[in-house]
Amino acid sequence: MTVQSPTPFPHTARAPDQVAFDRHELSVILGLYGRMVAAGEWRDYGMSFLRDRAIFSVFRRAAENPLYRIEKHPRLRGRQGMYSVIGMDGQILKRGHELPTVLRVLERKLIRPIG
């Protein structure tokens, strides 16, 4: 008589119910957020974790629409890249495969010419 052992954690193979930023991604985003708050550009943020994407929204004031949305779409990983920065008008400012590269479009706004 042969005894088969059950497969451990059989339900881990299914897709997650929501997409989220991992610890490293949040560290990069919050590092930029901290610099922008110190510069007086940003004042508040919100996060949404949906079935197909994770969104980090940045606000000048809490009662306004977001200035920018930093989105993670894992389904676009093989195409244009899963990270994108979207402006308040819905226009995609930058899209790519690496989060720090995509966030550079926002860091340029932090550096202003003196004069």
Name residue, tokens 């994407």: 53
Q: pLDDT per residue over 31-54, tens digit each?
A: 999 999 998 888 899 999 989 899
* Structural domains in the chain (count): 1
Q: Is residue 88 part of a domain?
A: yes
Record the tokens describing residue 78, joined without a space.
Answer: 């093989």
Answer yes or no: is 68 within a domain.
yes
Structural contact between residues 62 and 53, judged by C-beta atoms closer than 8 angstroms: no
Q: Is residue 61 part of a domain?
A: yes
53 belongs to a structural domain: yes
Segments forming the whole domain that contains residue 67: 17-107
Q: Is residue 7 part of a domain?
A: no
- Residue-wise pLDDT for 2-37, tens only, equals 666 666 655 555 556 888 888 999 999 999 999 999
pLDDT of residue 107: 81
